[in-house]
């Protein structure tokens, strides 16, 4: 029998547990402040952070979802390492897809680091396909490019 997950929007009190989960899952980078990312995503109507709680009520999964009016994006897809392979990642992605559909967005995109084969396999199993693109970036505050 599959484990159950209660999914809802994050609230302010979830911030420490979310940041802790992102750190334990290796999703953060030195140039991004995860708490600031969380706050910004929850600020407007075009994005949200969804959290999944296990049967004991413990915050165990997240997905940051948003859109630019045309394409949807997900970030910070995380499942507690002790509960991976439970179907929670699949449930969080389904919740993000539903969130985007409710907002009239028909295409979801995501980025995976080239060396993260395990996560690439996860998304392929969900029906996502790699697309040939070159991603360009620039820090608007003058910082040097980051990897």
Tell whether pTM > 0.75.
yes
**Per-residue pLDDT at 35:** 95
**Per-residue pLDDT at 1:** 40
Helix (H, G, I), strand (E, B) or coil at 8: strand
Per-residue pLDDT of the chain (147 residues; tens, 9 = 90+): 456 899 999 999 999 999 999 999 999 999 999 999 999 999 989 999 999 999 999 999 999 999 999 999 999 999 999 999 999 999 999 999 999 999 999 999 999 988 888 899 999 999 999 998 888 999 999 999 988
Strands (E), the chain: 6-9, 47-53, 59-67, 72-79, 108-109
Structural class in CATH, domain 6-111: alpha beta
């Amino acid at each position: 029998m599959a484990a159950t997950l209660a999914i809802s929007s994050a609230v302010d009190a979830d911030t420490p547990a979310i940041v802790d989960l992102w750190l334990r899952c290796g999703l953060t980078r030195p140039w991004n402040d995860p708490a600031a990312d969380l706050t910004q995503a929850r600020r407007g109507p075009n994005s949200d952070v969804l959290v999944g709680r296990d049967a004991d009520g413990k915050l165990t999964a997240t997905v940051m979802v948003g859109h630019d009016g045309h394409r949807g994006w997900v970030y910070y897809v995380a499942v507690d390492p002790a509960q991976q392979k439970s179907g929670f990642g699949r449930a969080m992605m389904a919740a993000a897809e539903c969130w985007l559909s409710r907002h009239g967005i028909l295409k979801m995109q995501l980025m995976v680091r080239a060396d993260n084969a395990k996560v690439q396999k996860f998304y392929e199993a969900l029906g996502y396909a790699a697309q040939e693109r070159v991603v360009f970036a620039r820090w608007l505050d003058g910082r040097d490019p980051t990897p």
